[in-house]
Amino acid sequence: MPATIRDVAKKAGVGLGTVSRVLNQSPQVRSATRQRVLDVIDELDYSPNPIARRLSLGKTLTIAAIIPFFTRPAAVERLRGVTYSLSGTEYDLIVADIETPERRVAAFKELARRERVDGVLIISLPFSEEDAEHFKKSGIPLVIIDVNDPILHGFNRIVVDDIEGSRKAVQHLLDLGHKKIGYISDVLEESFPFSASRARFRGYCQALKAAGLDPCPDLHRHGEHSRSDARILAAEMLQMADRPTAIFAASDTQAIGVLEAARELGLRIPEDLSVVGYDDVEIAEHLGLTTMQQRLIESGEKGVRLLLEVMEDPLREPEFETLPTELIIRNTTAPPG
């Protein structure tokens, strides 16, 4: 039979309350007694009943992560950081994969409740004013990752400056001598908009204007966030009479579609076309893709650490941190031929 808490207490020569306090890491136990109890727990291979433990603590010992589309590599990388940081804690993780605005609203209202979870991480999902108000009233510990929206002022957030990141990516192409620079992104105005896509478009426009160039509508194409859509959009752009000599894609996934379109049309990379992506997911290095690196895994790790602090002290001042971006130059950019 598996050992019980009574077996531990009897063998260690202490009361049930003392064993419980050791399990709950209470400071109200002398170090010698704590060690004796821990040694007995190890000797008997005792494992507390998880349901009983949750009830005794008044917690669910569960954290929810609400993220968009497992098909988005950047979101998956952030989630990896979350799981890494939680692996050494006693918290379980529930992950909600959001694919529609309706599913987002339902997850925000149904999953983010104290009787279900002790804290919530929301990753890369757009907020409405109603959503923001809901979380303010709920009082549930919350950390938002990769959503840089003014309506979220006063919330705990870890973000990336996507305007500056994309501006630096385009500036790299300008410095190489490119003047006809295309941009491929998600749809900017839709029912499920992502703030990062709009921010990266703003950075693209800012860099061009600072160089004395007017953004050309024909050089901006947008569609679903996928390699196949990006390949089609890039092929259209590259078959224009006055085609771009460089394309900046709003993600590495879309940049891969651009590379495929260029090769299908017989264009050499980077001699005939330079390509820059965004995110620096794992495959970018394998493909030699020049890209704007954002700290995806680190953002997930920092999000968990901040959430645990907020759960410990809900009245602490909200924290806002902007993670840096870095241009990683590889083999897909060169001066125009």
Residue/partner pairs of 308-316 with CB below 8 Å, 24 or more apart: 308/89, 308/119, 310/119, 310/141, 310/142, 310/143, 310/156, 311/118, 311/119, 311/141, 314/139, 314/141
Q: Which two tokens stand for residue 219?
A: 């050089």
Residue 151 DSSP one-character state: G
* pLDDT value of residue 134: 87
Q: Please check whether residue 17 lies inside any domain of the structure.
A: yes
- Whether 156 and 75 share a structural domain: yes
- In this structure, the answer to whether residues 116 and 131 fall within a common structural domain is yes
Which CATH number is 37's domain given? 1.10.260.40
In this structure, what CATH number is given to the domain that contains residue 314?
3.40.50.2300
336 belongs to a structural domain: no
Question: Same structural domain for residues 212 and 155?
Answer: no
**150/268 same-domain check:** no
Does 57 reside within a domain?
Answer: no
Assess whether 169 and 152 both reside in one domain. Answer: no
Q: Model's pTM, two decimal places?
A: 0.79
CB 131, CB 105: distance < 8 Å:
yes
Regarding whether 307 and 254 lie in a shared domain, the answer is no
**Does residue 334 sit within a domain?**
no
Q: How many domains does the chain fold into? A: 3
Model pLDDT, residue 39 = 92
Are 135 and 243 part of one and the same domain?
A: no
279 domain residue, yes or no: yes
User: Same structural domain for residues 189 and 270?
Assistant: yes
Partners of 326 in the β-ladder: 293
The reply to whether 203 falls in a domain is yes
Query: Distance of CA 160 to CAs 77, 148, 164, 252, Å?
Result: 15, 8, 9, 16
Which residues face 184 on adjacent strands?
221, 249
User: What's the pLDDT at 107?
Assistant: 82
> Do residues 145 and 111 both lie within one domain?
yes
Q: Please report, in tens digits, the pLDDT of each residue of the chain (337 residues total).
A: 778 888 989 999 998 889 878 877 777 888 999 999 999 988 988 877 665 555 555 677 889 999 886 667 888 899 999 999 998 788 889 888 887 777 877 888 877 776 788 899 999 888 888 888 888 888 899 999 998 888 888 999 999 999 999 999 999 999 999 999 999 998 876 555 567 888 899 999 999 999 999 999 999 999 888 899 999 999 999 999 999 999 999 999 999 999 999 999 999 999 999 999 999 998 999 999 999 999 999 999 999 999 999 998 988 999 999 999 999 999 999 999 8
Predicted confidence at residue 49, as pLDDT, reads 66
Question: Do 117 and 184 reside in the same domain of the chain?
Answer: no
In a domain, 329, yes or no: no
Q: What is the pLDDT of residue 116?
A: 80
**Same domain, yes or no: 275 and 191:** yes
CA atoms within 13 A on the CB side of 117: 28
Assess whether 167 and 69 both reside in one domain: no
For 134, the domain range is 62-160+296-323
Say if 312 falls within a structural domain: yes
